[in-house]
Amino acid sequence: MVQKKISVKQLETLKRSLHEMREREVKDIEDQIGQELNIAMTRKIDIAMDMEDWASLDLDEGIDHKLLEMRYRTYKEIADAFRRLEAGTYGVCESCGEMIPVDRLKVEPHARYCVPCLTRMEELEQVEKGTGKRSTL
């Protein structure tokens, strides 16, 4: 089924949603680590996330690192959505190339995949977990 392109008005609404989501994620991350994210701290978190080396962070012991990781991953997905907006590929499924329905983008503005492709990927991941194989998705 071919989906129609996103209208300019819908795109502006989705862009606003992305901005709001980004601001919420930044605030939540800042609240969690108890300080504002300046450029140096953001870079430090980027490096730790890339290296998956939480020990390199000099943050308080009480931080829930898994929650911080989840929030940071969402922040990165939002940033990727802005890059797709600039590239003109926003709203296009990265797996099948079809347009992602606007209703899905309203719920998850940073979505990369349409629901059928995402479902297939999740099912494949579950099968691979069951066989002990590592997913390459």
pLDDT beyond 80 at 3: no
pLDDT beyond 70 at 101: yes
46 within domain boundaries: yes
58 within domain boundaries: yes
1 within domain boundaries: no
Neighbours of 109 (CB within 10 A): 23
136 within domain boundaries: no
Reduced to 3 states, what is the DSSP secondary structure of residue 132? coil
72 within domain boundaries: yes
Question: Tens of pLDDT along 37-89?
Answer: 566 666 666 666 655 555 555 544 445 678 888 888 999 999 999 999 999 99
Q: Could you give the C-alpha distances from 43 to 8, 23, 46, 114, in angstroms and in order?
A: 34, 18, 5, 32
| Domains held by the chain: number | 1
Q: If we measure between CA atoms, which residue out of 114, 91, 113, 95 comes closest to residue 8?
A: 91
37 within domain boundaries: yes
137 within domain boundaries: no
Q: Say if pTM beats, i.e. exceeds, 0.85.
A: no
CATH number of the domain where residue 32 is located: 1.20.120.910
2 within domain boundaries: no
pLDDT given for residue 69 in this prediction: 85
Amino acid, single-letter form, for residue 94: E
pLDDT given for residue 17 in this prediction: 94
As a whole-number percent, the residues of the chain with pLDDT over 70 amount to 69
Residue 29 belongs to domain spanning: 8-131
